[in-house]
Amino acid sequence: MEKKLQDFLSSNLLNKYLVGETSLEESNEVEHFISNYPEAAEAFDQLQDNLEIIAKAGAVTTPDHMLEDILESLKTPSDANAKVIEMVQHKKTTPWYSIAASAAAVLLAATTFMLYQKNLELNSENNVVVEEIFDLRSDIESNNAKLDALSRELLKLNNPDSRKYVINGNERAKDLKTVAYINSVEKTSMIDVITLPQLPEEQQYQIWAELQDRMVNLGILDESDRKLKQIPYMEDALALSIKIGTKGDTTNENDTEVAEISLKDK
């Protein structure tokens, strides 16, 4: 609908309607827009004001004695009693008047359209800025949440009750290195993957806790997830070990062991 309003304001219908040159259909269209769109009504009022200003500027007051002077000059000595037939002139719109009104209408319509387009552009730019602000706020909130989580993790690592265990690989995985942080007071366990040698597609690294009577699988280790990772805390764990197992199988305690650290030597 805004496109129709723009097209209407850009046309010359308002000017034609003002000077009485529109057809019945065009008049109905103009009256519809004036009645239903404040922008059209405002443009029409402005045209009327401009037309009135132009009319006043071009108006000339005729002296009262001019008609008598003209009649007197038409009389001659030989025909002093001759009657002069006064011609009644019908008022016509002069060409300059129509041209000036049309020019004013076109200028006003063009200015109105340009201002309307500029307003649309400013609204669009404003919406973009608002969206960018919301995105920035979202990014800030996300970063703050990450920093808060990292801060909590660092507090756990720096807690005097946390013990650090460096787990190095054996001959089967010499480049393997991980670090475990265990807090027996807060009952938390975390592990940080430093390096893990690459395995065949069907295999994976698993971390196990050795208890007095059994082994408990604590989860999978993946080098692509190189960050502090929470693992289940085992109250009576004697040692931690890393084994190579088959993907999807987390129950085989006899998988190949590639690293182990005792938890009772500190």
What domains are there in the chain, each with its CATH number? 1-56+94-123 (no CATH), 162-262 (2.60.40)
User: What pLDDT does residue 168 have?
Assistant: 92
Tokens representing 115? 């201002």
Q: For residue 183, what is the DSSP state?
A: E
User: What pLDDT does residue 117 have?
Assistant: 81
User: What pLDDT does residue 208 have?
Assistant: 92
User: What pLDDT does residue 263 have?
Assistant: 86
Tokens representing 101? 């009104």
User: What pLDDT does residue 81 have?
Assistant: 56
Show Cβ contacts of residue 147 under 8 Å, excluding neighbours closer than 6 positions: none
Q: Is the pTM of this model over 0.85?
A: no
Burial class for 141, CB neighbours closer than 10 Å (0-12, 13-18, 19+): exposed
Series of mean pLDDT values for 10-residue runs along the chain (266 residues): 79 81 88 88 84 63 62 56 52 55 77 82 82 81 72 62 87 88 86 88 90 89 77 89 85 80 75
What is the largest distance, in Å, between two alpha-carbon atoms of the chain? 152
User: What pLDDT does residue 93 have?
Assistant: 47
Show Cβ contacts of residue 238 under 8 Å, excluding neighbours closer than 6 positions: 210, 211, 212, 262, 263, 264
User: What pLDDT does residue 253 have?
Assistant: 66
Q: How far is CA 194 from CA 172, 197, 198, 229, 230, in A?
A: 17, 10, 13, 12, 15
